Structure 1
Amino acid sequence: MSYTINQTIAQELSVRQEQVNAAIALLDDGNTVPFIARYRKEVTGGLDDTQLRNLESRLGYLREMEDRRQVILKSIGEQGKLTPELEAELRAADSKTRLEDLYLPYKPKRRTKGQIAIEAGLEPLADSLWADPSQTPETAAEAFIDADKGFADSKAVLDGARAILMERFAEDAALLEKIRRHLQGQAELTSRVVAGKEHEGAKFKDYFEYNEPLKNIPSHRALALFRGRNEGVLQLALNADPDQEEGGRSSYCEVIIADHYGVKPGTQPADSWRKQVISWAWRIKILMHLETELMAALREKAEDGAMQVFADNLKDLLMAAPAGPRITLALDPGLRTGCKVAVVDQTGKLLDTATIYPHQPQRQVAQSAATVLALIAKHNVDLIAIGNGTASRETDSFVATLLKENNLKIQSVMVSEAGASVYSASELAANEFPNLDVSLRGAVSIGRRLQDPLAELVKIDPKSIGVGQYQHDVSQSMLAKRLDAVVEDCVNAVGVDVNTASPALLTRVAGLNGTIAQNIVNYRDENGRFESRTTLKKVARLGPKAFEQCAGFLRIMNGKNPLDSSAVHPESYAVVKNIAAANDKALDAIIGNSDFLKSLKPADYTDEQFGLPTVTDIIRELDKPGRDPRPEFKTATFAEGVHEVKDLIPGMVLEGVITNVTNFGAFVDVGVHQDGLVHISALSDKFVADPREVVKAGDIVKVKVMEVDLQRKRIGMSMRLSDEPGQEKPARKPQGQSPRQNPSRSSQGNGQHNASGNAAGNATNGAMGGAFAAAFANAKKK
C-alpha cells in the first residue's frame, strides 16, 4: 500500500515517484526537511523545502487514511459482510470522506427506526413497494401489522418501511457522492440573523441577510460567518436550490435520488408513497448529513487558507532585512511611565539602560536629551531603534530634533514592537535578564529585532507577532505546527552563528532541540567560543545524527577552518580540498575568488557520493561564503507633522510599511499608531487575485489616503495614486468572470472585515466608499 501512497503523492506534486520514494525514506530515517532540501538534492532529485513540506503533510494524511482503511476492513470482515467487491471499493477509496461513505452501512450505531423495522420483518414490504408501485401501500401493509413488535396499524407499518429505505439511501456511497458533487457546485450558504440579536451582533450586520455560492466563499468570509454562528448571532444553512423560489416544495436533489435508482414516480397507487420516501430521505437524512460535512469542509479549507496567510506573512517578517551588527540604542516609547532606553552592542549584548521623560506630563526634554547624548557618546552608538507603540511619533520627533541640533549622522528607525511585551514577560526573558525590569527588556528586544529580526523574533510565540488573519478561529495545534515549520525553514535558510546565538535561535536549527541548544550555550560559556564545527561533537547529547543535521546550518565565524563559516557541510569538505588540489591552489585562495570559481566545471569534481547538484551548490557557496539570503536593509520615511489619525487628510500621499497582508488587502503603517487598509481592489490598476502578488509584509510603499474615520480611527488607502477620494472606480474583474445573477445579494465584491475581525461583504471592487470602513478588523492599535 505504501507504493500507492507514494504514487499518489508523486502525482499530486507533479514529480517522479523515485523522488517521493527517496524523500519519504529520508524523512522516516529521522532527517529534517531543511537538511534534505539543502544537502540531499541528489537523492531527492532536487525537491525544495516547500515541496518537501507539502510531501510531509500529505504523507501524514495518507498514512492516517491507510490506518483507518485497515480498521474499516477489519470491522466489516468481523461482521462477515466483506465481499470482494466491497473490499475492492474500500481499497480504491482515495479520500477519508469516500472511506467513511462506504463504511456507513456497516458502522456500529444505536438502534434506529429502520433497524427496528427490519427486525420486525418489514424489509420485504419496503422492497416490494419500492419496486412495484402498482400496489396500494395501505393494503400491502396490512399483512405486516404486528402490535407485539410495535407496528399496530398500517400507518405504523408504512412508516417503518419508509424508515428502512431512507436509511438505506442515506448510506448509499454512490448516491452520496452524486449529491455531494451537485451541492459543491451549485449550493449556496445562507446566513440570517438570530431574532433579537440585531443590536448585540451589529458587527455582523453584513451577514444578517446573506447568500453566496459555497464554492466562491473565501477563507476570511467563511471564518467570519462561523464566528457569527459561534457567538449566537447568525444562523447558517445550506440552500441546495438557490434558483428555486423561496418555500419551494421539492429539491433537485430529489431528482438525483430518483434517477440514481431508476425511479420515475407517476400516478400509480404507491407512487405518492415512493415520492414521500425520496423527499424525506433527502430532507431528513441526506441533507443534514451533507450539510454538516460540507460546512466542516468549508471551515477546514478556510482555516487552511487563514493559516497559509499567517505563514506567508510570518516568513516575510522573519526574512526581513537586518540592519546588521551595529551598536544600537533602542527606545520603548511611553508617556506617563517614560521612555525606556537600552543600548546593545553589535551582537545584541546589553550594555546600558535608562529611563527618560521627554513627553507630557513630566516634559523633561533637556534632561532626556542629555541622557541620550551621553549614552550615544559612551557606547559609540550608530543606530537608533524606536518602538512604534504609544508616543512613538512624539519620541521620533524628539530623537530627530536631538540628532539635528547636535549634527549627529545616526540613522533612526521605527520598529514594530508587536510581541515585545510577550517576550518581556516570558520565562526566556526572565532567564536572560533576571534582574532587569520587564519594560526595559522590551527596549532590548526592540533594538535586537532591528539588528536581526529573525534572531529576535524566534523568541516570541509566532501567534503573538500580529501578522495573522482570524488566527484565533483556527485549530491552534495545526497553526502552531505550520508556523513552527516556517520558523525552522527561515532560520536554516539564513544560518546561525553558533558563538552568538541564543538558545531560542539554536533550538530552531535542524537536528537540535531545546535541551541540546541549551547544552551548546552552556559549553560555550564554560569553554569559550567554538573554533571549529567538529568541536560541536563534544556538546552533551549532540550525537552523530544531530551533528549531521545541524552542522551545515551552524556558522563558526573567524574559526580555524574558513569553510566553517559557510553553508558547505562538513561531509563535503573533501570536495573543496579536491578542487583546491586539482588546481594547485590553497584553500584560502579559492574562497571568494569569483573569476576562478566561475571557470570551474562542476561535473569535473563529482563522484559516487557527491553528484552535480551538491558540487554546483558548493562552488556557488564558495563564491559568496555565508551569504545572507535576506534583502538589503531599507527604511520608510514617515511624513513630518503626521503623527495621529487626525493629522491625515484625504488625498495625502504618504510612505509607509506593509505590516500585514490578508486575503482582502494589506495593512499599512504610516506612523499614526493605527494601520490603514489598502483593499485588494486598490492595490493595483490590474485585477489582483491574491494581495501577495503585489505586496508582502515589510515592503515600503507609497499610498494615498482615501478616507479617514476619526471616530472609529479607520483609514482607507489606495496604492493607485491616481485615485481620488470619493471617486467611484469601475469594478475590475478577471477576464471571463461573470457577475452574480442576483445583484441585490450582499456577497458581491472581494469582501471586507469589520471592526471585530469579521468579514463584511458588499464592497465594490473599485471604490473606497463607506462600506470600506468595515475592513479594519486586524489592524493593530499601536
Structure 2
Amino acid sequence: MTSSLTVRSVNARLAEELAVGEGQVAAAVRLLDEGATVPFIARYRKEVTGSLDDAQLRTLEERLTYLRELDDRRAAVLASIDEQGKLTDDLRAALLAADTKSRVEDIYLPYKPKRRTKAQIAREAGLEPLADRLLADPTVVPEELAAQYLTDGVPDAAAALDGARHILIERAAEDADLVGAVREKFWSDGALRTSPRSEDVAKTPAGQKFRDYFEYSEPLQNMPSHRVLAVMRGEKEEVLSLNFDGGEDEVYLAMVARTLGIDMTSTAPATPWLGTTVRLAWRVKLMVSAAVAARVRLRQRAEEDAVAVFARNLKDLLLAAPAGTRTTLGLDPGFRTGVKVAVVDGTGKVVDTCAIFPHQPQKQWDQAKATLAALVARHGVELIAVGNGTASRETDALAAELIADIAAAGAKAPVKAMVSEAGASVYSASAYAAHELPHLDVTLRGAVSIARRLQDPLAELVKIEPKSIGVGQYQHDVTPGTLARSLDAVVEDAVNAVGVDLNTASVPLLSRVSGVTDTLAEAIVAHREKTGPFRNRTSLLDVPRLGPKAFEQCAGFLRITGGDDPLDASGVHPEAYPVVRRILDRSGVTLAEIIGNERQLRSLEPAEFADDRFGIPTVSDILAELEKPGRDPRPAFSTATFAAGVEKVADLKVGMVLEGVVTNVAAFGAFVDVGVHQDGLVHVSAMADRFVSDPHEVVKSGQVVRVKVVDVDVDRQRIGLSLRLKDTPQRDKATPRRDAGPQRPQQKRTPQREGGRRDNGRRDNGRREKAPSGSMAQALRDAGFGR
C-alpha cells in the first residue's frame, strides 16, 4: 500500500509530464481507480478532469501504471535492505529520490541477494583490508603488502592480489552513480555495428536479404526503429552478428578510476596493478552491463516507435469511410479455385453466395459475368467490393466490364471499390466466423467479410485480432504484450468515438464498448435475440449481470435508432437527459423541433443550462449532439478509380499520374496500391513541397490519393511514386537495365534495405528505407531504385 505522500508525488509528476493541473490528474486517477474507462472519462467527465482528452488520458494511464510499479519496487527494495540491517538515512533518501526503475535497481545492486561471488569469497578470506590499503596508498609494493594477508585459503601473494582485485571490480560495478553515468555515456556516444555471422551464411538467399548490413555502423541515438528491428531480425535468423560499441575506452577508464579514487597517471609502485584493475572493471563488468542496457533501451525505443506506427495506421483503417447500409456484393479473387462471391444486404446479412471461374485455367469469363449480373439484378446490389489479393486486378476488370454493361443497358450500375483483404483469412478460420456463418465454407466467409468491410470497416475489423490486420511496421518483431495493449486501446477509442448500434452490433463490436466485457457482450446479444430489439437504453439494465456501473460506462456509446426516445440515437448520455429537458422547457420547443435546428441551437448559451453536475463543456457537447444526433466522425465514402489498361508493373510508365489507395504508412514513407498487384512507395521526401518529418502528417491508411510514377523497376517489381505531381522523373526504367542488380555497400554505409516480409502480408522485396534526402534522384536510390 503506497502512502498518501507517495500518491501525491505521483500525481505531481504526472501533472508535470502532461503539463496539466495536479487537480486534473488526481480526478482522472480517481476515476480510473473506480473502474471508469478512458473513452467514458474523456467524453462524459470533462468537468471533473478539466477536459483531458483521450490521448492525454491514455498517456496518464500508462505512466500511472509505471510510477505505481516503481513505488512498489522501491518499497520492496527498502524492505529488503532494512531486513539486512543496512538501511541508512542517506540510502533511504537516495531510493526515495530515484525516479526510474533502473535507478532503483542501480542503488539496490550492492544489497541484492545473489550467489556467492569471487569478491564475497575474497571478503570472507579477509582480503578487503588489502584492497582498501592498495587504494589508499599506491606507494606500497602490491606483492609485499599482499604477503601480509596469506592464510590457509590464500596460499600466496598472487591469490591475495587476485581476491583484492575482485573486491575492487565488484565495488566499481555496484556503484550506482558510476553504473548510471556509464550507461548514459554509452548510450549517447555508442554505436551499433553489424557484420555477417559467417561468409557461408552471407552467401545464402536468407543472408542476402540482409546484405546491406554486412558492413554497417550507426550511432545508437540516431538509429530509426525499422533498422533496429531489421538487424535484430537478422540476428535472430542467425545471419548477423551485432556489436555494441561505447566509443573511446579511455573516457570510461577515467570514470572508473575517478570513482575508485585511483590516479592513473601516478608512477607509484601499485599504479600498474590498480590500472589493470580499472581496465578489467570496465571490460569485464561495466562495458558488458552497459551494452546489455543499450540493447534493451534500443529495442524498447524501436518497439515503441513501431507500435506507434501500427497504432496510427490501425486507427486510420478503423475510422475509414463506411459505404453505409447498402446491399453489397463481395468478391474474393482467385485463379485456380475461382472467385468466391457473397451478397449481403444493408444490415450485413448474407443473402446469396456462389463461386465463379472467370480466370485461368477455366476462363469462364462470360458465364461469370452473367452470374454476377443476375445477382446484381436479383438483390438490387449497389456496391461491389473486390478483395485486393491474388487475381484482384483481373477480377476488378471483370467488375468494371459488368458495371459498363449494366450502365449501357440503361440501368443503375453499382459502384465498385477495392478492399483490403488483410486479416480476412484469419477471420474466415476463426471460431467467431464459424459461429456467425456456420453454414458457409471458409472460403465464402472471406467474401462476406470483404463485402462487410466496405459497408462498415470498423464493425468488421473488430472481429479480427488487431495484430492480424497487417498495417504495421515489423509488427512480428515487437513484444506481443506491448503491441496488444496499444492496439486494444486504439480499437476501444475508435469504437467509442463512432458509437455502436445496440440492435445490430456483433459480440466482438459490443465487447469494445466502454464498460462492456466479452461476457456482457454475449449476454446483450442473447437478451436481444430472446426478447427482440431494445426499445430504449434503460432496458439494458434488464440484461443479466449488467449493473448500474456498467450501464453508466456504456450507455452513452450505444445507439438505438427508431426507439422510444430520439435521444437514445444520440451521443447524449442518459444521465444528462434532464439537461435536454431543461433546454426544451426554457426554449419552449419540443425535442423533434429542436433536433437538427442549427440556428436555434447555436443561439443558446451553454452557461444558461449548466449546473453543479453538468458544466459548460458537457452542455456544449449536448447542444452539438442535438444539432447532428449520432454524428459519425468518419469521412465521406469515396473510391479510387484504377487506370484502364494498367494491370501489372510492366504497364507502368514514368510520368503517369494515377489514382491509388494508401495501404500502409511507415516512418520512411507510404505504400500506395495503384492496381498492379504491387504497392508503390512514396518516399517521405516526395510527399510535399516542404520538409515532412512524419508521413502521417500528409497521408493515412485507406486514403485515396493521386500520385505520379517517377521510377519503375520491372525486374525487382518496384515502383517509385510521388505525391508532388509536378515532379520531373529522373529516368525511365520501365525497360530495366541488364546490370541493375544489387551492389555491395561500402563500409559504414547506412543501409536502407530491410530483410524479410512487409508486415501487411505482401513481399517487401528488400525495399529500401531512409530519412529524407536532398533530391528526388537520391530519394529513389534510397528507396531501392537505380542500383
Q: TM-score, with normalisation over the residues of structure 1?
A: 0.93
The aligned residue for residue 491 of structure 2 is 487
Are 1:158 and 2:157 an aligned pair? no
Counterparts in 2 of 1:415-564, with a 5 A limit?
A: 415-564=419-568
Which amino acid in the other structure matches residue 570 of structure 1? P
Instruction: Tell me by how many angstroms 1:760 deviates.
Output: 5.9
Are 1:392 and 2:403 an aligned pair? no
Q: Which moved more, 1:171-180 or 1:352-361?
A: 352-361
Which amino acid in the other structure matches residue 784 of structure 2? A
- Partner SS for 1:773: coil
The aligned residue for residue 233 of structure 2 is 227
Cα separation, partners in 2 of 1:761 and 1:160, compared to 1, 3 Å: farther
Are 1:183 and 2:182 an aligned pair? no
2:136 to 131, 135, 139: 131
CA distance in structure 1 between the partners assigned to 2:192 and 2:111 by the alignment: 31
Which amino acid in the other structure matches residue 155 of structure 2? A
Counterparts in 2 of 1:69-148, with a 5 A limit?
A: 69-146=74-151, 148=152
Equivalent pair of 1:388/1:414 in contact (CA under 8 Å):
yes
Which amino acid in the other structure matches residue 507 of structure 1? S
Equivalent pair of 2:142/2:269 in contact (CA under 8 Å):
yes
CA distance in structure 2 between the partners assigned to 1:237 and 1:312 by the alignment: 32
Which amino acid in the other structure matches residue 8 of structure 1? R
- Partner SS for 1:115: helix
Q: Which moved more, 1:539-548 or 1:694-703?
A: 694-703
Note the alpha carbon deviations across 1:727-752, whole angstroms, 9 max, x for none: 69xxxxxxxxxxxxxx9654548x44
RMSD: 1.9
Equivalent pair of 2:197/2:238 in contact (CA under 8 Å):
yes
Instruction: Tell me by how many angstroms 1:657 deviates.
Output: 0.8
- Partner SS for 2:210: helix
CA distance in structure 1 between the partners assigned to 2:485 and 2:115 by the alignment: 37
Q: Which moved more, 1:62-71 or 1:700-709?
A: 700-709
Equivalent pair of 1:754/1:773 in contact (CA under 8 Å):
no
CA distance in structure 2 between the partners assigned to 1:406 and 1:182 by the alignment: 70
Instruction: Tell me by how many angstroms 1:724 deviates.
Output: 4.0
Instruction: Tell me by how many angstroms 1:142 deviates.
Output: 0.9
Equivalent pair of 1:746/1:762 in contact (CA under 8 Å):
no
CA distance in structure 1 between the partners assigned to 2:187 and 2:535 by the alignment: 61
CA distance in structure 1 between the partners assigned to 2:225 and 2:263 by the alignment: 41
Which amino acid in the other structure matches residue 659 of structure 1? T
2:595 to 580, 591, 597: 591
Equivalent pair of 2:138/2:271 in contact (CA under 8 Å):
yes
1:56 to 56, 61, 64: 61
- Partner SS for 1:635: coil
Note the alpha carbon deviations across 1:641-666, whole angstroms, 9 max, x for none: 11122222333222111111111221
Cα separation, partners in 2 of 1:688 and 1:280, compared to 1, 3 Å: same
The aligned residue for residue 735 of structure 1 is none
Instruction: Tell me by how many angstroms 1:399 deviates.
Output: 1.6
CA distance in structure 1 between the partners assigned to 2:103 and 2:574 by the alignment: 48
Equivalent pair of 1:221/1:759 in contact (CA under 8 Å):
no
Instruction: Tell me by how many angstroms 1:764 deviates.
Output: 7.6
Instruction: Tell me by how many angstroms 1:120 deviates.
Output: 0.8
Counterparts in 2 of 1:701-740, with a 5 A limit?
A: 701-726=705-730
Instruction: Tell me by how many angstroms 1:768 deviates.
Output: 4.4
Are 1:237 and 2:243 an aligned pair? yes
Which amino acid in the other structure matches residue 68 of structure 1? R
- Partner SS for 1:251: helix
CA distance in structure 2 between the partners assigned to 1:632 and 1:437 by the alignment: 33
Counterparts in 2 of 1:259-658, with a 5 A limit?
A: 259-265=258-264, 266-407=266-407, 408-658=412-662
Instruction: Tell me by how many angstroms 1:143 deviates.
Output: 0.6
CA distance in structure 2 between the partners assigned to 1:551 and 1:638 by the alignment: 43
CA distance in structure 1 between the partners assigned to 2:590 and 2:627 by the alignment: 15
- Partner SS for 2:194: strand
Instruction: Tell me by how many angstroms 1:52 deviates.
Output: 0.8
CA distance in structure 2 between the partners assigned to 1:566 and 1:337 by the alignment: 46
Counterparts in 2 of 1:733-772, with a 5 A limit?
A: 746-748=748-750, 751-756=752-757, 765=773, 766=775, 767-770=778-781, 772=783
Q: Which moved more, 1:370-379 or 1:424-433?
A: 370-379
Are 1:65 and 2:70 an aligned pair? yes
- Partner SS for 2:614: coil
Equivalent pair of 1:219/1:306 in contact (CA under 8 Å):
yes
CA distance in structure 2 between the partners assigned to 1:488 and 1:380 by the alignment: 34
Q: Which moved more, 1:626-635 or 1:678-687?
A: 678-687
Cα separation, partners in 2 of 1:355 and 1:45, compared to 1, 3 Å: same
- Partner SS for 1:406: helix
Equivalent pair of 1:318/1:487 in contact (CA under 8 Å):
yes
CA distance in structure 2 between the partners assigned to 1:774 and 1:591 by the alignment: 57
Q: Which moved more, 1:459-468 or 1:569-578?
A: 459-468
Equivalent pair of 2:654/2:712 in contact (CA under 8 Å):
yes
The aligned residue for residue 736 of structure 1 is none
Q: Which moved more, 1:483-492 or 1:333-342?
A: 333-342
Are 1:35 and 2:40 an aligned pair? yes
Equivalent pair of 2:183/2:293 in contact (CA under 8 Å):
no
CA distance in structure 1 between the partners assigned to 2:354 and 2:690 by the alignment: 50
Which amino acid in the other structure matches residue 365 of structure 2? V
CA distance in structure 1 between the partners assigned to 2:627 and 2:441 by the alignment: 45
Cα separation, partners in 2 of 1:184 and 1:574, compared to 1, 3 Å: same
Instruction: Tell me by how many angstroms 1:366 deviates.
Output: 2.6
Instruction: Tell me by how many angstroms 1:463 deviates.
Output: 1.2
Instruction: Tell me by how many angstroms 1:759 deviates.
Output: 8.6
Instruction: Tell me by how many angstroms 1:276 deviates.
Output: 1.1
Instruction: Tell me by how many angstroms 1:569 deviates.
Output: 0.1
Instruction: Tell me by how many angstroms 1:234 deviates.
Output: 1.7
Long gaps (5+) in structure 2 = 1-5, 733-744, 759-765
The aligned residue for residue 763 of structure 2 is none
Which amino acid in the other structure matches residue 90 of structure 1? L
Count of residue correspondences: 751
Which amino acid in the other structure matches residue 635 of structure 2? P
Equivalent pair of 1:651/1:725 in contact (CA under 8 Å):
yes
- Partner SS for 2:784: helix
The aligned residue for residue 739 of structure 2 is none
Instruction: Tell me by how many angstroms 1:262 deviates.
Output: 4.5
The aligned residue for residue 195 of structure 2 is 192
Instruction: Tell me by how many angstroms 1:763 deviates.
Output: 7.7
CA distance in structure 2 between the partners assigned to 1:768 and 1:38 by the alignment: 43
Note the alpha carbon deviations across 1:55-110, whole angstroms, 9 max, x for none: 11111111111111111111111111000110110111100000000000001111
Which amino acid in the other structure matches residue 174 of structure 1? D
Are 1:256 and 2:247 an aligned pair? no
Instruction: Tell me by how many angstroms 1:180 deviates.
Output: 2.0
Equivalent pair of 2:668/2:769 in contact (CA under 8 Å):
no
Q: Which moved more, 1:186-195 or 1:66-75?
A: 186-195
Cα separation, partners in 2 of 1:565 and 1:38, compared to 1, 3 Å: same
CA distance in structure 1 between the partners assigned to 2:25 and 2:687 by the alignment: 39
CA distance in structure 1 between the partners assigned to 2:464 and 2:433 by the alignment: 10
- Partner SS for 1:183: helix
